[in-house]
Amino acid sequence: MVATPYGAVRGRYERGIAVFRGIPYAAPPFGLLRFRPPAPPEPWDGIRDAGTFGPTAPKPPYSEAFAPYLSDPVVPGDDCLNLNVWTPDPDPRARLPVLVWVHGGALTRGSSAVPVYDGRAFARDGVVFVSVNYRLGVEGFGLFPDAPPNPGLRDQLAALRWVHESVAAFGGDPDRITLCGQSAGALGVGALLAAPQTQGLVRRAVLQSGAPEAAERAKVRRMVRRMATRLRIPATAEAFAAVDRDLLLRTQAEVGRLSSPVLGGPAFGIVMDGDLVPRDPLAALADGGAAPGVDLLMGWTRDEYRLWLVPGGLTDRVDRLGAVALAGARARCHCGPDVPRGYRALYPGAGTAEIVGQMVTDHLLRVPMHRLADARPGRSYVYEFAWPSGLPGLGACHALELGFVFDSGDVPESRRLAGEGAPRELAEAMHSAWVRFAATGDPGWEAWDATHPVRIFDADAPRTVLGPRDRELALWAPGTGDRVRIPGGPVSRTRSRRLG
């Protein structure tokens, strides 16, 4: 039994680890709180049972193409702003490092109840692990004229504040909090790192396959307006709140069906709001104005794009489109013809889908992460996950590293993406690096410098390679005739930039 600011909770010991699930950090975001910033939960009397996962945020299921690969359990109920704690020692004197996990899912899916995200291995190795739920899709990241922006990100901030205030009672050290996220979760981590309201709450951060960014407001508005058109309602929070929740989710899924990191299209995103996100997060972090003393671990998987293209047969379709697909990729990446020509020269035997996928991956992830590591004053460490899935066509795809980071490869949900025979030694190496980073700020290899050291995690022993992506990223430098869009100040502007 542990006391929290709103009441006592009772967890369970599971194989020597104390586990608390479904602890509310904010009130249910419905009724008068729909589309509003999170409010504190109602305190409770007595001892609240924390033996099972709390409700998950409203979300549509994955499409038939993605459902075989990605697990996304649903727990019904309105009290979805909750979190879970795994701790080896629920004693305030323990003062153990803390890792706070923000899940991915394109800001529309996912939850802390995904079995791959089990925190037992972190607690086993001396880290208090906390995973959080937050509002998704139009509930969390819709943009309306009559409601504040970014309520889902504000949920994440409320959870982080709860952890800072409460984690000592679970054996954690509030001065050693590592904020960690993957994909859309990493977007949230990047935005929170740059937010003025989080200064002093985070000691370290991990960005897995997601670079800090602010979405274009027009793109998010387009998503909301298309939903409103289908529903035949005004594009306001008041009108959306009156729609049946299941119908809202179905409409959201239909409108977002063709959106992807490769194809583009309307999508939800974190937007600059003049408050929690006053500037583009990448610009704020890169110029040293935000989180200058925060240690940073960040990286990508070698074949991120394969999860975006292989399910549903998009790889073959992009290959057939040829020049049309390359033109679309140029528009997606805001670049001229020299960039795809350069990728053709570097990958002479590659099909169009691979060229497009690598370009988009570099534009979305590797280019901004290189820029961030080069520019920021704090210590940065960079990795690449390169082990290929045992399933056909996936390679080292987006999200494949999660089972290794969590050392949860033994759960069936990990094998849905990795296949059979995932190397146990690789999980031990990767998981121990994350544990070490949370505990000390040093994952076990050289910090980023002018030589661009990148830790490669593959079936062989982890190794450090200097500048493994420098040839590709040099294609985006001045002198190639191409322009690259980078954010800066209150609006996005286009200018060339040198990397590395």
For residue 487, the model assigns a pLDDT of: 36
User: Comparing 71-75, 228-232, 313-317, which segment has the lowest mean pLDDT?
Assistant: 313-317
Tokens 């003062």 belong to which residue?
A: 95
Q: Nearest-CA neighbor of 97 among 435, 481, 494?
A: 435
- Res 378: pLDDT: 84
CA distance from start to end of the chain: 51
SS3 for 85?
strand
Q: List pLDDT tens digits, range 32-57.
A: 999 999 999 999 999 999 999 999 99
- pLDDT tens digits, residue range 76-128? 999 999 999 999 999 999 999 999 999 999 999 999 999 999 999 999 999 99
Q: What is the mean pLDDT of residues 174-198?
A: 97
Q: In this predicted structure, what is the pLDDT of residue 490?
A: 30
Percent with pLDDT over 90 in the chain: 85
159: confidence class by pLDDT, cuts 50, 70, 90: very high
pTM: 0.94
Predicted local distance difference test score (pLDDT) of residue 198: 96
Active-site positions read 183, 304, 398
Asked if 29 and 139 count as a contact pair (C-beta separation under 8 A), the reply is yes
Under 8 Å CB-to-CB from 350, ≥6 apart: which residues? 343, 344, 358
Q: Which residues pair with 128 in a beta bridge?
A: 98
How much is the pLDDT for 177?
A: 98
329-370 pLDDT tens trace: 888 888 989 999 999 999 999 999 999 999 999 999 999 999
pLDDT tens-digit readout, 276-299? 999 999 999 998 889 989 999 999
pLDDT at 491: 30
pLDDT at residue 488 greater than cutoff 60 = no
| pLDDT of 499 higher than 60 | no
Q: 376-434: per-residue pLDDT in tens?
A: 888 999 999 999 999 999 999 999 999 999 999 999 999 999 999 999 999 999 999 99
Spatial contact of 101 and 118, defined as CB atoms under 8 Å apart:
no
Provide the pLDDT for residue 206: 98
Element (H, E) at 455: strand 453-457
Residue 196 pLDDT: 95
**pLDDT at site 85:** 98
Average pLDDT, the chain: 92
The CB density around residue 82, as the number of other CB atoms within 10 Å, is 29
Structural contact between residues 371 and 286, judged by C-beta atoms closer than 8 angstroms = yes
What pairing do the DSSP bridges indicate for beta strands 96-102 and 172-182?
parallel
Domains of the chain: 2-495 (3.40.50.1820)
Average pLDDT over residues 307-328: 88
Q: State the Cα angle at 320 between 316 and 321, rounded to 5°.
A: 120
pLDDT of 476 over the 70 cut: yes
Q: What is the pLDDT of residues 425-467, one digit of tens each?
A: 999 999 999 999 999 999 999 999 999 999 999 999 999 999 9
CA dist., res. 21 & res. 56, Å (int)? 12
Over residues 183-193, the mean pLDDT reads 98
Q: How confident is the model at residue 67 (pLDDT cuts 50, 70, 90)?
A: very high
Question: Where residue 478 falls among pLDDT bands split at 50, 70, 90?
Answer: low
Please report which confidence band the pLDDT of residue 492 belongs to, taking 50, 70 and 90 as the band edges.
very low
Phi/psi for 199 (5° steps) reads: -60, 130
Q: What pLDDT shows up at residue 269?
A: 96
Region 147-157 average pLDDT: 98
The mean pLDDT of 311-322, rounded to a whole number, is 87
